[in-house]
Amino acid sequence: MPRIGNMNLLSEKTFNYHFGNQLRVKKPQGRRRTYLCYKLKLPNETLVKGYFINKKKNHAEIRFINKIRSLNLDQTQSYKITCYITWSPCSYCAGKLVALVKSCPHLSLQIFTSRLYCHWLWKNQAGLRYLWKINISVLVMKEPEFADCWDNFVNHQSRCFKPWEKLTQYSNSTERRLLRILRINRTDLFLAQSSEQDPGLNDLVDAIKRLFLDAHRPRD
């Protein structure tokens, strides 16, 4: 089976089932597993890529964090990590991701999620806002992100990514829910996504994040 470094590539069936953003599926209990795919990059080079799955008492995000810490990254270099994840981080993992980035100021982290995990719980909503507050963008996967994840982490036998029915509709629905949680608007999400292609927009994105998060901070 083809591998990423020392890891097996995902099968097409696994990818379509677990990364699928459909609101309802048969046997939904099977999608309780979290898959986290990541790419660690320098400005012009991908250094490491792989994926983690949650295990008993060990969330995929925690396994990912442990991996990044074990790399002992060069403090003089600037690194960017892009993550594709089936479920957005819970409040506990959000806190651990914040701690990782705070301890590694040379590291930039961007997360794309297929679905929102228990989004009705206030603590998970607070966790998502906390991530944005310290410049960890959590965005909803759309067709370009699904396609990139497919290209890099799936044993696709040279087949192109084929969007499933209503993919865009489901992404837009999830994005609207995320917007309500973050209390920001589509312009801010567009800028955050655009900064992936144009790093020059990062300062503007950071300023807008601070503006909206400060505006909605509880007052004494």
Residue 10 in any domain: the answer is: yes
Q: Examine the residue annotation and report whether 61 is marked as an active-site residue of this protein.
A: yes
pLDDT tens track for 110-152: 999 999 999 888 899 999 999 998 889 999 999 999 999 999 9
Rounded distance between C-alpha atoms, residue 123 and residue 120, angstroms: 9
Res 120: pLDDT: 87
Rounded distance between C-alpha atoms, residue 162 and residue 183, angstroms: 32
Tell which residue, 53, 99, 100, has the closest CA to residue 81. 100
Res 32: pLDDT: 75
Rounded distance between C-alpha atoms, residue 8 and residue 167, angstroms: 26
Structure tokens at 135: 């410049």
pLDDT tens track for 153-185: 999 999 999 999 999 999 999 999 999 998 865
CATH label of the domain that carries residue 160:
3.40.140.10
Residue 60 in any domain: the answer is: yes
Residue 149 in any domain: the answer is: yes
Write down the pTM of the prediction. 0.82
Residue 186 in any domain: the answer is: yes
Residue 196 structural domain: 3-215
The answer to whether 88 and 125 have CB atoms below 8 angstroms apart is: no
Q: Select which of 12, 61, 143, 196 is catalytic.
A: 61
Is the pLDDT confidence value at 205 over 90?
no
Residue 143 in any domain: the answer is: yes
Residue 116 in any domain: the answer is: yes
**What mean pLDDT, rounded, does the chain reach?**
84
Residue 220 in any domain: the answer is: no
Is the pLDDT confidence value at 194 over 80?
no
Residue 207 in any domain: the answer is: yes
Of the listed ranges 9-18, 82-91, 103-112, 184-193, the least confidently predicted one is 184-193
Domains held by the chain: number: 1
